[in-house]
Amino acid sequence: MNSMQGQNPFFETYSTPHGTFPFDKIKTEDYVPAIHEGIRLQNAEIDAIIHNLEAPTFSNTILPYEKSGELLHDVSTVFGNLLSAETNDELQELAKEIMPLMSEHENNISLNEDLFARIKAVYDQRKKEVLNPEQTKLLEEIYNGFVRNGANLQGEAKDKYRSLCKELSLLTLQFSENNLKETNDYQLVLTEKSQLSGLPESAIDAAAEMANEKEMKGWVFTLQTPSYSPFMTYADNRDLRHELYMAYNTRCAHDNTANNLEIVKRITNIHMEIAQLLGYDNFAEYNLQERMAQNSDAVYKLLNQLLDAYTPTAQKEYSEVQALARSQQVDNFVLMPWDWAYYSHKLKDQKFNIDDEMLRPYFELNKVKEGVFGLATKLYGITFKQNSNIPVYHKDVDAYEVFDKDGQFLAVFYTDFHPRAGKRSGAWMTSYKGQWIDEKTGKNNRPHISIVMNFTKPTQDKPALLTFDEVETFLHEFGHSLHGIFGNSTYESLSGTNVYWDFVELPSQFMENFAIEKEFLHTFARHYQTGELIPDELVQRIVDSSNFNAAYACLRQVSLGLLDMAWYTRNTSFEGDVKAYEKKAWEKAQILPSVEETCMSTQFSHIFAGGYSAGYYSYKWAEVLDADAFSLFKEQGIFNPETASSFRENILSKGGTEHPMTLYKRFRGQEPTIEALLIRNGIKK
């Protein structure tokens, strides 16, 4: 290797604990040379497969293909993850160079006729080779992956496919960048104390801290959730709530360079064109073939079932909040979307005498972390040990080693909790290294997993005190992490969270169930100042209020599912008005009055820049599964080690090695029904 390569950390063997990435040594200028070298190496590996003179077999074609591209995978993983969690102008510029390169390279592989001919030969002979179930699954996944990525296309169609993929990779990047820019560019600056009326101390402190950071006078509120959410819930000033609401809900729909309206149209149309090139009527039909739902009829069936079951209750919930607002305003007061959180909170407080500020002191972040880690110890016997020798990409990030109940090393686990300018909004789990077993040596290569959040930050005089929602979010992402941590497959591409998208949310949503269990809360929820355990009656109020406005929340998810399906079941090109189309798409699930200028599509990263295109319904699909799965824990004890062991064994460690319904039935003994969800939400007694 030349000297330039010698200085590039991606070309070295990492001398870090567990071969973790040396984030402290990786520089922006290292990515492009490492991507080029990664592409060169993988091309050489692909050439070796093609030029093998022996007849194609699983071991000389499928296995080397599965193992190819290690360097490229490493570099693109680090780059892609930091683009979301710790980005800057240089990385965003670089992405415009790297994404098309990657797209081009991926297409060169999936459209390589000689490579596909060998893979197809192995696939066609699969009955004659003696393959175990996991090998069979890998072969099917790889073969189908090639077909679904255009391997059967010829001539012009192949060129068209290439150019569409390249354009799509740039557009999704632009969509995300615009979103981050619009979120970061807005600030509501308040200079009069009276404007803060109704806001809790925690929100005022955080806003003062933000003003301080920006070297401004007064209080600064932003569109980041820990700032936006308390303002919408507590601020008495309706005009300011309206202003903040409009800023949040019109992101990327303004007449400026960060506008996503045309990008939404183009992304929708490209997805449709790709699907039709591959022989499908629309993108949803293409995408759902690899999902538990299988087709859009099944998705609409679920969404309509939920609509029918939840709408009457949601309308009742709306009327109650509206009545309260009118009792405090005027008789003909119309409850608008910027009033919903404010008056809902007042009603909840009236009914259950509970709110986030009352609970915050019991949810100090370090204690919550102990509780969540402790839950995994109780259920599965695993333990977490911080290791400050593992390099991290930002000072806010902590790295842990995870050990199994017998003391064996299981995984590296990174946590990244607070918002900052270089981090996109939301919360997610990701991995830096997958799990796989070396078939020659039997060595089990363990995964490196990360969770990224945007939680309330500590202030000068208070630690980070979380809202109840943030505790649930932590449990959710931690559930995804366990899916990765417990991965135990022979092949990396079948391991951990590499499962159908409407199954991937089961482990995450399953963990959220613990948030309202007294036995769990009692393991960690202590007042950060007095050390007093959360009182039983407060826990009871959490439980009693857990279904407050549950039907409204369900319809919100259904509305997003309907919007997603409306964009991706199209079989003709879209040239219309994005806002008008959106309002029509989800109107039957809307409870609040519609506001003309707002637009969700322009900021709906899940479906325009994430993996949820024609897949947003997955959250509700998995919720049916998680309610059904947790009902077994409720029957047998929420910490029951046998039930937990079966969940780990059949769901968490199996990855995508078998069909998810097969795995689910093995754990549960039956197919799931919607019953458990309706009962949990109080819709059905």
Of the residues 477, 492, 512, 623, only one is catalytic, namely 477
Strands 409-416 and 436-437: unpaired
Please state, in angstroms and rounded to a whole number, the distance separating the CA atoms of residues 280 and 287: 10
Q: Quick one: three-class SS letters along 276-338?
A: HHCCCCCHHHHHHCCCCCCCHHHHHHHHHHHHHHHHHHHHHHHHHHHHHHHHHCCCCCCCCHH
Q: Is 576 in contact with 591 (CB distance < 8 Å)? A: no
Question: Distance (Å, rounded) from C-alpha 599 to C-alpha 592?
Answer: 15
Cα-based distances in Å from 199 to 205, 229, 326, 540, 580: 10, 11, 21, 25, 35
DSSP class of residue 685 equals -
Q: 40 is written with which tokens?
A: 């060169």
Please say if 156 is a catalytic residue: no
Longest CA span, the chain: 84
C-alpha pair distances (Å), 518 with each of 207, 472, 533: 33, 14, 11
CA 222 remoteness from chain centre: 22
Q: Give a three-class secondary structure readout of 428-465.
A: EEEEEECCEECCCCCCEECCEEEEECCCCCCCCCCCCE
Amino acid identity of residue 384, one-letter, is F
Question: Quick count: other Cβ atoms within 10 Å of Cβ 405?
Answer: 12
| Cross-strand bridge partners of residue 139 | none
Query: Who contacts 466 (Cβ-Cβ below 8 Å, separation ≥6)?
Result: 360, 363, 364, 365, 368, 455, 456, 474
Handedness of CA 10, 13, 15, 20 (dihedral sign): positive
Distance CA 310, CA 308 (A): 6
Catalytic residue positions?
Answer: 477
